[in-house]
């Protein structure tokens, strides 16, 4: 099951769309990359690497469905990715990350939510966040595609290469709304 968030100050139509929305009726030519998947995390920190694994799964899934996909797997988000995000011809960018949960009764499914450019974090470290990257893309390159965040629940971020049962279970049950990239006109949408 997909979890959807409707951001305040945006209508559900403009975010999630309907099958007849103009912004979602773009014809895919097959000659260009239209979806960028950006998976990030540390594959040595157990569930922190779940986003990377899901990104690879989504790439295969969507390519098999005939979608032009480019997948980038990175340890952490850095500002230079802004140009990649703002590239002409890109319809959407899908960030794929791990999400910290405490375990039951928390929701242990894969989540999907729309993203918009957001204020910069004042991180003293090297990492950025999706909203900041979108903001850089908009301010610097003048273009931001539709953006989404997909998250895999994780409970164990210790050293290791295997996933916790929680993360593995979620990865084994990718929700049907991700059978195609979010926002595609032929993608299944949750009830309005």
Partner 1 sequence: MAQTLHIEPVTRIEGHGKISIHLDDAGQVTDARFHVTEFRGFEKFCEGRTYPEMPGITMRICGICPVSHMLASAKACDNIQSAKVPPTAIKLRRLINHAQYVQSHALSFFHLSAPDLILGMESDPATRNVVGIIQANPELGRRAIRLRQFGQEIIRGVTGKSVHPSWATPGGVRDPLKTEQIEYIKKNLPEAFETVEIALNWLKDHSDRFEREKATYGDFPSLYIGLVTPEGGLEHYDGLLRVMDADGKILEPGLPLDRYREIIAEAVEPWSYLKFPYYKPYGYARNGDGVRPGMYRVGPLARLNLCDFAGTPLADRELRQFRRLANSPGKPVSSSFHFHYARLIELTFALERIAELVADPDILDTHIRSQAKVNELRGVGIMEAPRGTLIHDYEVDETGILKKVSLLVATGNNNLAMNKTVEQIAKEYLSGATITEGLLNRVEHGIRLYDPCLSCSTHAVGKMPLHVQVVDSKGEILDERYRD
Contact residues for partner 1 (CB under 8 A)?
A: 40-45, 48, 73-80, 82-83, 97, 99-100, 119-127, 129, 131-132, 135-136, 139-141, 157, 159-160
Of the pair 125, 191, the CB lying nearest partner 1 is at: 125
CA nearest neighbour of 169 among 103, 99, 109: 109
Of the pair 25, 127, the CB lying nearest partner 1 is at: 127
Could you give the residue ranges of the DSSP H alpha helices within 87-146? 130-141
* CA pair distance 6, 32, nearest whole angstrom: 29
CB of 165 to partner 1, least distance (A): 19
115, β-bridge pairs: 147
CB of 49 to partner 1, least distance (A): 9
CB of 9 to partner 1, least distance (A): 19
CB of 142 to partner 1, least distance (A): 10
Of the pair 116, 187, the CB lying nearest partner 1 is at: 116
CB of 70 to partner 1, least distance (A): 13
Of the pair 41, 182, the CB lying nearest partner 1 is at: 41
DSSP state of 164: P
Could you give the residue ranges of the DSSP H alpha helices within the chain? 12-15, 50-64, 81-85, 130-141, 165-172
Of the pair 92, 132, the CB lying nearest partner 1 is at: 132
Enumerate residues 6+ apart whose C-beta is below 8 A from 7.
15, 114, 116
- What totals of helices (H) and strands (E) does the chain contain, helices first? 5, 5
Of the pair 65, 120, the CB lying nearest partner 1 is at: 120
Query: What are the phi and psi torsion angles at 165 (to 5°)?
Result: -55, -35
CB of 130 to partner 1, least distance (A): 8
């Amino acid at each position: 099951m997909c979890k959807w968030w409707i951001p305040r100050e945006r209508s559900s139509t403009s975010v999630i769309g309907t099958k007849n929305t103009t912004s979602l009726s773009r014809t895919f030519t097959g000659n260009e990359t239209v979806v960028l998947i950006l998976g990030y995390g540390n594959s040595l920190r157990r569930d922190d690497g779940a986003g990377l694994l899901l990104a690879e799964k989504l790439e295969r899934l969507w390519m098999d469905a005939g979608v032009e996909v480019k997948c980038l797997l990175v340890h952490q988000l850095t500002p230079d990715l802004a140009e990649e995000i703002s590239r002409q011809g890109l319809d959407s960018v899908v960030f794929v990350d791990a999400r910290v949960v405490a375990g039951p009764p928390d929701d242990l499914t894969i989540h999907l939510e729309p993203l918009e450019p957001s204020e910069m974090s004042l991180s003293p470290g090297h990492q950025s966040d999706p909203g900041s990257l979108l903001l850089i893309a908009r301010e610097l390159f003048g273009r931001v595609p539709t953006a989404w965040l997909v998250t895999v629940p994780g409970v164990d971020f210790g050293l290791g290469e295997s996933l916790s049962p929680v993360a593995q279970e979620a990865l084994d049950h990718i929700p049907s709304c991700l059978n195609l990239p979010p926002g595609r006109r032929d993608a299944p949408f949750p009830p309005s």
